[in-house]
């Protein structure tokens, strides 16, 4: 029994990921992993939830920091992030509510 426990523990430790690669599969994943890990890990990204417009702003900001991606890569990244780290009901909320309107 002790041997089995040891074996299970060893297996468990081997299965611990060394690097957080918890991006869901899908088109654009490779691009995100290449372009968006140059300066920081994926934690910043996977812990965020943004609409497509917000992701575009984030990615634009990263490009101003120096992220390098071609136009079509930028598009792929934004589409991927909006799909996998988007806000569920944001698309249904497109009508501006103009909270500051007089």
Applying CB under 6 A, which residues contact ligand HEC?
35-36, 38-40, 44-45, 48, 58-59, 61-62, 65-67, 77, 81
Tell the smallest beta-carbon distance from residue 17 to ligand HEC (Å).
Answer: 20
Nearer residue to ligand HEC within complex by CB, 7 or 53: 53
Tell the smallest beta-carbon distance from residue 27 to ligand HEC (Å).
Answer: 15
Residue 1 has which token pair?
């029994």
**3-class secondary structure for the chain?**
CHHHHHHHHHHHHHHCCCCCCCCCCCCCHHHHHHHCCCCCCCHHHHCCCCCHHHHHHHHHHHHHHCCCCCHHHHHHHHHHHHHHCCCCCCHHHCCCCCCCCC
Tell the smallest beta-carbon distance from residue 4 to ligand HEC (Å).
Answer: 43
Tell the smallest beta-carbon distance from residue 42 to ligand HEC (Å).
Answer: 9
Q: Are 41 and 31 in contact (CB under 8 A)?
A: no
Nearer residue to ligand HEC within complex by CB, 21 or 44: 44
Nearer residue to ligand HEC within complex by CB, 10 or 44: 44
């Amino acid at each position: 029994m002790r041997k089995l426990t040891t074996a299970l523990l060893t297996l468990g430790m081997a299965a611990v990921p060394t690097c957080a690669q918890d991006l869901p599969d899908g088109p654009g994943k490779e691009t995100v992993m290449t372009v968006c890990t140059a300066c920081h890990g994926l934690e910043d990204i996977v812990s965020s939830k943004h609409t497509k417009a917000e992701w575009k702003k984030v990615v634009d900001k990263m490009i101003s920091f120096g992220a390098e991606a071609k136009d079509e890569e930028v598009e792929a990244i934004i589409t991927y992030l909006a799909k996998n780290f988007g806000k569920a009901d944001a698309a249904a909320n497109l009508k501006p509510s103009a909270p500051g309107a007089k």
